[in-house]
Structure 1
Amino acid sequence: MLCRRLAAQAPCWLRSAGTLTAPAAAGEVAPTKPVNSEDGITTTVPGQAFVGDLRSTSALEVGDGVFDHTKKWLQGNHKSPMEYIQSTEPIKCHGLVVASYGYDDPALGCPVEYINLKGTTRDSPAVCKYTGNKFYSDDWVGGGAH
């Protein structure tokens, strides 16, 4: 009974995408099938969705013509997030190890990554695998760690 009520409340775009077949609309379990998007990449259809709930879609397909995150960043003259990360300058640090928090506040962002800076230079920095921040240190050149 609950499945029938949820199927009746499903958004119209779910029905038109073929996600809700006749058996699913009647409350039966129906397998989901992959859908080919306009760029030819096979994607799976979303699972359960509620009217007005955009959490599962990340505000995609809300009428602005953007259907995936790649197109979201590549529209217009805007830089992609990767271009912003690559354009930043390396951060000079003192010592041989740096803790990359991903942000000024360690409570936000990615897990802490401890990066060994031995052998790094401004031209060849060490890169945080979570944030893309680049770090280097000249303290290792003389053999001293301090």
Structure 2
Amino acid sequence: RAPMALRAAALALSRTSAAGLAPRAPAAFARGFANQVEKFTGGQPIQTKRPAYDERDVPHTEKWLEADATPPIDLIAQVPPIGIKADRVSCKSEGACMDRYGERAGLGAPNTYYQLNSTTPENPVKCKYCGLRFYGVH
């Protein structure tokens, strides 16, 4: 075992640079790495599916995050409570997939039932899936 360890140490020493600080990389690897470094000199690399970078590329958070859009919970809060002339209500809210694929979509919210016996416009029952509010009109 000792001769194998000596061979490994000798091989490692033969691969070090003249100053003895860093191992030498093969020439093909060094050329390929140099080409990669040139791509990222302008800042942080940007994820893209295209093979080359251009001015149309922006970071994903800026591309898909609409910072000025109103959050959905605020839009739902703008809808006034719905008065129902019954003791219970069925809320079959349509999810984003149900809007696109219809009744066959398995990703919408389930059909839920809510009791309206002690609800008022000031204290409505709220659907836990879509956020709509209901109260009983008696």
Normalised by the length of structure 2, the TM-score is 0.46
The structure whose residues are more often helix, as a share, is 2
Q: TM-score, normalised by structure 1?
A: 0.43
Q: Higher RCO, 1 or 2 (CA under 8 Å, sep at least 6)?
A: 2
Larger Rg: 2
